[in-house]
Chain A
Amino acid sequence: EAGVAQSPRYKIIEKRQSVAFWCNPISGHATLYWYQQILGQGPKLLIQFQNNGVVDDSQLPKDRFSAERLKGVDSTLKIQPAKLEDSAVYLCASSSIRADTSTDTQYFGPGTRLTVL
């Protein structure tokens, strides 16, 4: 079984530029998560999708971050414009259990390491 795929693995941009990350979850997984992990901290949930609907985006900075999962499969996360404090690893995870049952073992991708200069 293929794991969660993410690209790119690394990205360096200057502040005020835009960047996009892509995630392809494990086949058949209905729930998809985007996390931001700043160095020395744990993953912080940015947005959670159930199929192509948003379950939770309460911690997503909506003035600059956006995410979509149009066909309920792969997803993109965009930052526009980027700030220095956006430097982090962006993790995508997926799970096969419905979000409302909370029995959600998550399978993580390798992450995208973003550096904003």
Chain B
Amino acid sequence: AQSVSQHNHHVILSEAASLELGCNYSYGGTVNLFWYVQYPGQHLQLLLKYFSGDPLVKGIKGFEAEFIKSKFSFNLRKPSVQWSDTAEYFCAVSTNAGKSTFGDGTTLTVKP
């Protein structure tokens, strides 16, 4: 069975600081990788995804993530965070069987 680990439960940053949220997964086969975001009071929504090709994926609002197959990692990055990035971030993995597994999330608080 696959699993997803997000190492940071709560991250607090000041505006303009750089962000990196860790995500590691365990699964021996081919995976698709996702980052979802939930802003306060809103639904979970897709931030970015990796299926194949260039391991550096760019998403909405200046976010990007890099798939490093040898490390089973898919870390999320943003060079300069804004107060509006305050949200909960979930890493997710889906397998060829279509089964999805989510991490426990990282709460990001950006101080103005």
Q: Which A residues lie at the B interface, using CB under 8 A?
A: 3-4, 31, 33, 35, 40-45, 48, 55-56, 91, 93, 98-111
Contacts and interface: CB of A to CB of B under 8 A. Distances in A.
B22 to A, nearest CB: 14
A41 B4 CA distance: 12
Interface string B1-34: 0001010000000000000000000000010101
A43 B92 CA distance: 10
A91 B95 contact: no
B52 to A, nearest CB: 9
A9 B94 CA distance: 27
Contacts, number: 65
The interface centre, meaning the residue of A35, A43, A111 with most chain B CB atoms within 10 A of its CB, is A43
Contact of B51 (A43, A56, A103): A103
Contacts of B4: 42
A-B CB proximity, top 6 nearest: A99-B98, A42-B102, A108-B44, A42-B104, A43-B102, A108-B43
Interface of B: 4, 6, 30, 32, 34, 36, 43-46, 49, 51, 90, 92, 94-105
A107 B49 CA distance: 13
Contact of B43 (A3, A31, A40, A44): A3
A101 to B, nearest CB: 7
